[in-house]
Amino acid sequence: MKVFLNILVTLVVIGLAIWLFLIIRKPIVEKQVNQIKKNEIIKRLELVRAAQFAFKEANGRFCGDWDSLISFCKSGNMRIVKTIGDPNDSTIVVRRDTFYIPVKDTLFPANYYLDSLKFIPFTKGGIFELKAGVINQRGVPVHVFQVTDTKPFDPEHVLILGSMTEVNYSGNWK
């Protein structure tokens, strides 16, 4: 009987130790997984920001809908101005060459599926909310945009890029 109780107590202690280990480990693993998800979402938002700036350079405004932005990324071009010579030196002839390069080859990794730009990573079809407009900043009209994570994995910290109320093109994760 005493041997049986010793074995039973040993098994209970081992079981409790495993249970305690798993309880402590679970939030640590969840935090690591959430950080991976957050980093992927931030990477996608940074690609959207780059695409928006390229769109603004080409069209004079930010884009407010995904179809137009993705279409621009697929077929649009970015203007590059190359200056040969020193523009501050009046003794040298300065030459400027303007050439255009495809947006998809410049801003995005090779073989990047551009249609996925609007989708939130790690969600089943979640789409970022995209807004664009003009605000009045000290009497001057300024183009702004905002991209919001509509399905945040952490509802207390929704990731937002840009702002529709102030001139801010940064994300709230910085």
The 3-class secondary structure across the chain, one letter per residue, is: CHHHHHHHHHHHHHHHHHHHHHHHHHHHHHHHHHHHHHHHHHHHHHHHHHHHHHHHHHHCCCCCCHHHHHHHHHHCEEEEEEEECCCCCCCCCCEEEEEEEEHHHHHCCCCCCHHHHHECCCCCCCECEEEEEEEEECCEEEEEEEEECCCCCCCCCCCEEECCCCCCCCECCC
With 80 as the cut, is the pLDDT of residue 86 above it? no
With 90 as the cut, is the pLDDT of residue 125 above it? no
Q: Residue 26's pLDDT is what?
A: 94
With 90 as the cut, is the pLDDT of residue 96 above it? no
pLDDT band at 89 (very low <50, low <70, confident <90, very high): confident
pLDDT for 100-111, tens place per residue?
888 888 888 888
Q: Residue 88's pLDDT is what?
A: 75
Q: Residue 51's pLDDT is what?
A: 94
- Give me the percent of the chain exceeding a pLDDT of 90: 59
